[in-house]
């Protein structure tokens, strides 16, 4: 069990990353508007980033530089920025077509 009087270790980062990941999954599952779903996606990606950095820590593998997890996290942040830009464009187009951002209201597909 993790106690608060211990020094910060990899387990603390994994716990925080896992909590953020689960909070993002719950946010994506319960929100109905597209902006809430996008916030859940961002929480999932940030939770994964924290776990990447924690598992790439030199505390787990002293013979490496510990930059593997940070490189993965940087790649995920670039991916998240591109995803946010595309998703915002989709949300604006969705609002223009349906006059709402409620994802359940999209009952027709148009090409």
pLDDT in tens, 81-93: 998 899 888 888 8
Give the per-residue pLDDT at 3: 62
Domains of the chain: 10-102 (1.10.287.3510)
pTM for the structure as a whole: 0.76
% residues pLDDT > 70 (the chain): 86
DSSP code string of 37-80: HHHHHHHHHHHHHHHHHHHT-TTT-TTS-S-HHHHHHHHHHHHH
Give the per-residue pLDDT at 48: 92
Task: Check whether 1 has a pLDDT greater than 90.
Answer: no
Do 35 and 101 touch, CB atoms closer than 8 A? Answer: yes
pLDDT in tens, 23-68: 999 999 998 888 888 899 999 999 999 998 888 877 777 776 667 7
d(C-alpha 28, C-alpha 30), whole Å: 6
Confidence of residue 109 (pLDDT cuts 50, 70, 90): low
Do 47 and 56 touch, CB atoms closer than 8 A? Answer: no
């Amino acid at each position: 069990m993790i106690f608060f009087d211990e020094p910060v270790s990899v387990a603390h980062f994994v716990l925080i990353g896992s909590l953020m990941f689960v909070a993002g999954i719950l946010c994506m599952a319960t929100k109905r508007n597209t902006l809430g779903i996008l916030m859940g996606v961002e929480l999932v990606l940030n939770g994964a980033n924290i776990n990447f950095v924690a598992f790439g820590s030199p505390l787990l593998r002293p013979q490496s530089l510990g930059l593997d997890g940070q490189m993965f996290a940087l790649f995920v942040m670039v991916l998240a920025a591109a995803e946010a830009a595309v998703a915002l464009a989709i949300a604006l187009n969705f609002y223009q077509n349906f006059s709402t951002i409620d994802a359940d209201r999209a009952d027709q597909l148009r090409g």
